[in-house]
Amino acid sequence: MIKLIIVILLFIVIFNLFKALLAMTKNDQSKQMTKSLGLRLMFSVFTLVFILLMVGLGFITPNPSPY
């Protein structure tokens, strides 16, 4: 369940990144690109905080030896 939430959050981040790219390539004068990049940043920070919270609470166990 936690992995599904993380994947959904990452897809939202990627979606907002491409939305900003489309607004930038259209040379749109509205604030759509700024809003999309702001949402991407917000969801990126939320994803990072969510992962750190789940590790802190013990729902996700990090790999003890990465090598």
67 found inside a domain = no
Q: What is the pTM of this model?
A: 0.79
Residue 49: predicted pLDDT: 96
DSSP label at 63?
Answer: -
CB 39 within 8 A of CB 9: no
Low-confidence spans in the chain with pLDDT less than 70: 28-29
Termini Cα distance of the chain: 27
What is the per-residue pLDDT for 8? 95
CA distances from 41 to 26, 37, 53, 56, 58 (A): 21, 6, 18, 22, 26
Residue 66 within any structural domain of the chain: no
Per-residue pLDDT at 30: 72
Residue 39 lies in a domain: yes
> Is residue 30 assigned to a domain?
yes
Structural domain containing residue 49: 2-57
User: How many separate domains does the chain show?
Assistant: 1
6 closest CA partner among 52, 41, 61 = 52
